[in-house]
Structures are given as C-alpha cells and as structure tokens.
Structure 1
Amino acid sequence: TKGQVVMPAKSNSIDQRDYDRHLYKARHLIENFFAKLKQYRAIATRYDKLAQNFLSAIYLASTIIWLN
C-alpha cells in the first residue's frame, strides 16, 4: 500500500513513528533473499541473453537457496 510506513525510525530519533511489524519482517526476508540471489555470478552479471534462460537461472538459484 502506498504511503504506509514499513521501516521503523532510528532508535535515537526524537520523533518515533508507528510501523507495521509484519510488513517490516516480510520486507527483511525479501531483501535477504535478493542478497543471497546476487551471490550467484551468472545472475548478478546476467550472462544469459534470452529472458527465458535468465528466468530459468533465477528459478534454479532460488531452489538452491530454498533447499539450503
């Protein structure tokens, strides 16, 4: 949803704001997944020229990450 605060304010900030903890947890998991996905060189540098082959590489790397 647009305009909704997802990240909490810094701990030393004077103006503390409310945020949705469930959305923040989901965002954290997604960011960690993309960080792990970028560790695969073929995906980070996009070796494949065809979109279908690139998507297949993403599926393969995602499966490996999920199994570990």
Structure 2
Amino acid sequence: MRPTPPIGLRQFLRARNRPGYSEQPHAHTHPSFDRSVYKRRNLVERMFCRLKDWRRIATRYDKLARNFMAAVELAATIIW
C-alpha cells in the first residue's frame, strides 16, 4: 500500500507530473487521460457503490468501529 501523501492531493499529483485535472477551470484543453488509471478508479468507485446498497453501511448504523468494519467485511464477502 502506498503511503498517504503529506501534502494536498493536487500538489502530490503535480509533483508526479500527472495532474489529471485542469489547472484553470476555464481552460478549454482536456486533462491527460490514462485509461488504466481510470479503470482502476472506476473499479473502486463501483465497489463503494455496491457497499452503499447495504443500508447499515451507507448510514453508518453501527456506533463502534469494529462493528462497522465487521458489517463492511460481511457485505464485501457476500458481494464477492
């Protein structure tokens, strides 16, 4: 697992020369597009969407972190 960047996400991506977004909101040029990065990001987003189908997880029904994590693990196991 990669360590969390100590600076903001945009500065971190800019330092890696892969901004993935437009520097200026009014710019008419499209940001660089990396298909493999997009596929991996989309996979993670779809996983979170499926987990949110479980009401207990979407509303953070459990008060204790261990109970919440157990519910996430159970839902992920059933989804898988």
TM range (shorter): 0.7 to 0.9
Count of residues in correspondence between the two structures: 60
Q: Name the counterpart of 2:39.
A: 25
Query: Is the aligned partner of 1:2 residue 2:13?
Result: yes
Note the C-alpha offset of 1:65.
Answer: 1.2
Partner of 1:64: 78
TM-score (norm 2): 0.64
Note the residue ranges of structure 1 that are not aligned, 5 or more in a row: 8-13
Task: Give the secondary-structure state (helix, strand or coil) at the position aligned to 1:2.
Answer: helix
Change (3 A) 1:6 1:26: farther
TM-score by length of 1: 0.74
Structure 2, unpaired ranges of 5+: 1-11, 22-27
For residues 6 and 37 of structure 1, do their structure 2 counterparts lie closer, same or farther at Cα, with a shift above 3 Å needed?
A: farther
- The share of aligned pairs that are identical, in percent, is 48
Q: Cα RMSD over matched residues?
A: 1.8
Give structure 1 regions of 4+ aligned residues with deviation exceeding 2 angstroms: 3-7, 14-18
| Structure number with higher relative contact order (C-alpha < 8 Å, ≥ 6 residues apart) | 1
